[in-house]
Amino acid sequence: MTPKKAIRDVPASVRQHLLNLAREQQLRFEAVLQRFAVERFLYRLSASDEVDRYTLKGAALLRMWTGHELRPTRDIDFLACGDRDEAAIRAGLRDICGVSCLQDGVVFDPATIAITSIRIDQPNGGLRVHIRGSLGRVRLTVPIDIGFGDVLTLGRREDDYPTLLDLPAPRLWTYPRETMVAEKFHAMASLGDANSRVKDLWDVACLARRFAFDGDTLRTAIEEAFRHRGTSLAGGRPTALLPAYYDEHESPARGQRWRELRRQIASDIDGPDRLEDAGDDLRRFLGPVCDSLIEKRPFTHAWPAGGPWLPTEQVRAVGEGGD
């Protein structure tokens, strides 16, 4: 058998494969390149001694869980273990950049690591990182947000991250879905009318449409997210679970941000079309859990993908073939 010839120009070959993929799937090539840059950085993290320091969160998880680009994103979000030690973080990022993967043709330059402080008004703050790289003559940039101090009550999970091409896949520590929902709900509740992050509304609604949730587990995640941040639900349902919050006549700016987000998302992605639809989804999904916390009672229900909440025994009986 004739041995396979080695590819002389790996970056050019990879770039062509990505271009072909973009054409086949009718995607913007720039967006595919950015996804590839994120994926290959995550692979280097997974192959480094730094892998246990970081837990993946944010929009990259939506892609991993669903296999689709539920909304456009350029960056990576991590929760980091340990103290907010910028020197240690920088040294670890240098090590990650130094991991080689000859098959993908990507090089990350540790000399380009730029770190700035973010969320300085919060106790643990955070760091924003930019790292530059290249795929041959194509320039790449990976933005990274690193948070500290959050408690993963439900632990973390180890998962494989999907690859665009036939290349070694990252295997990473990730947030549980319940924890992602809990943190996004806390952001909605604590910011109230000041919340401009309509992407959180979209993310939670999309998760509720696609995945099953155990009510008690989600209740625990939300309770701990609020307790850890010193926030209470004693005053009743937060503004983000009231119909007026999703009324575009009462909140025209939020409605405009929603429409802008929706225009960036492929029309074949299943998600709420209107801001009002997102409100309906979120009240159905989060409202009963929130009420159980306000009333300090258990929540022994289960959410099949798309809902509604049902008594756990009923869902179990259906799953076992009962009536």
pLDDT in tens, 137-178: 999 999 999 999 888 889 999 999 999 999 999 999 999 999
Q: Work out the mean pLDDT of the chain and round it to a whole number.
A: 92
Domain limits, the chain: 10-14+25-175, 178-319
| Amino acid in position 252 | P
CA torsion, ordered 17, 20, 26, 32, to nearest 10 deg: 20
Q: What is the pLDDT of residue 322?
A: 52
What would the pLDDT profile of 92-148 be if each residue is shown by its tens digit? 999 999 999 999 999 999 999 999 998 755 667 799 999 999 999 999 999 999 999
Residue 319 has pLDDT above 60, yes or no: no
pTM for this structure?
0.90
Q: DSSP labels for 19-51?
A: HHHHHHHT--HHHHHHHHHHHHHHHHHHTSTTG
Beta bridge partners of 130: 114, 143
